[in-house]
Amino acid sequence: MTEKRSRPTIADVARHAGVSTTTVSHTFSGKGVVAAATRERVRATAKSLGYRPDVVARGLRSNRLGVLALVLRPLETLDSSLPEGVDYFLRFAGSAALAAMDFGYGLMLVSDPTREESPAAALACDGFLITEPVTDDPLIEMLLGEGVPFLSVGKDPARAAYDNWIDTDTELMTDLVLRHLDDAGATRVALVAGTDPNSWNLGAEASYRAWAAVRGQDPMVVHRPETTGESGGRDAADELFDRSDPPDAVYCLTGRHAAGMLTRVRERGFDVPGDVQIVGGSDSEHTRSATPPITSVDLQPELLARVAVTQLVNRLDDLDRPVPPGKLHGRLIVRNSTRTP
């Protein structure tokens, strides 16, 4: 046999330290009873050999890999265009990766593993995080079926029988936005929603319609796919302002729609916020750096991600680590696209 270039195994350490593999294992896991002197000797030889436990072998035995899967639903439509809410998802993914690391887990970005062409490794994860599941989400179906732990941020709108989801309280946020516009003097508010059938779009629209009904305003709802971005927003603007009874305020659920809306509305000669007020439902670069900057909802993806990861790993490890404090619903950031009451 030629020089084997492989890493030392637990058996090598055991041999060099003159103990059994069991003792080496116990030394590192802290499970059995190992004399302090032996423990030290094992530690020392392990270090001198450059031994690192093989995660895969450990995973086989213990059935845990130390990896969380993150399914960013909207990422699956990403091709060479950007997914909606760029900010939101990177901030979520980045923060989730760091939070997972804090608990000794890795974070794997996966596309829907129910699809055939999905990599096999996607299924080897200990738990799943799903942002904005869609109606009758097949992944949730599968995870429930196989008993794999998961947590969804936002609820599968069609499913009643699960409770491991984080409520971002879309309804409350919608009310907050509508009340803000109301206070600022808007009388005819329109809604521009996306087309993904998730709780974000559906919940907001339901709240809006309820609010309009109470108020006696006939609802004005326009849908544009999330992927259309700014051009979708401009487009929606044309649809709304070609009407005989155009709105005097528009709530766009995505930041990019809001930005496109703003541009087009001003092109059509309206003053913002004088003639028309605009609010974005998901704060992003688009809303922050528009002229004027757009009032919008900061969904606090970092906080959401930390909470989600903490809850999930608590379930996995059967521990009760404290969840970061804070309200999980978004916060309204008032900017110049709406009038201060």
Q: Could you tell which of DNA, a second copy, none binds residue 316, using a CB distance below 5 to 8 A set by kind?
A: none
Binding flags for DNA, 17-56, as an x/- string (CB under 7 A): -xxxxxx-xx-xx-xxxxx-xx------------xxxx--
Piece of 128-136, 171-179, 268-276, 287-295 that binds a second copy (CB under 8 A)? 287-295
Piece of 5-13, 252-260, 316-324, 327-335 that binds DNA (CB under 7 A)? 5-13
44: part of which helix (H) or strand (E)?
helix 36-49
26: part of which helix (H) or strand (E)?
helix 21-29
Q: Is 117 in the site for a second copy (CB under 8 A)?
A: yes
Query: Residue 72 or 140: which CB sits closer to a second copy?
Result: 72
Nearest Cα residue to 38 out of 8, 10, 54, 14: 14
CA-based radius of gyration for the chain: 26
Query: Residue 3 or 163: which CB sits closer to a second copy?
Result: 3
Quote the strand ranges of the chain, DSSP E.
67-72, 106-109, 127-131, 150-153, 165-166, 189-193, 220-223, 249-252, 277-280, 295-298, 331-333
Taking each helix axis from N to C terminus, what angle separates 10-17 and 21-29, rounded to the nearest 10 degrees? 110
The single residue among 38, 43, 49, 75 that binds a second copy, judged by CB under 8 A, is 75
CB of 18 to DNA, least distance (A): 6
Rounded (5°) CA angle 256-72-131: 90
How many DSSP H helices and E strands does the chain contain? 12, 11
Q: The tokens 């490794």 sit on which residue?
A: 121
Task: Give residues in contact with DNA (CB under 7 A).
Answer: 6-7, 9-11, 18-23, 25-26, 28-29, 31-35, 37-38, 51-54, 57-58, 60-63
Task: Give residues in contact with a second copy (CB under 8 A).
Answer: 5, 7, 52-60, 63, 65-67, 72, 75, 78-80, 82-83, 86-87, 89-91, 93-95, 97-98, 100-102, 104-111, 117-124, 146-147, 259, 284-286, 289-291, 302
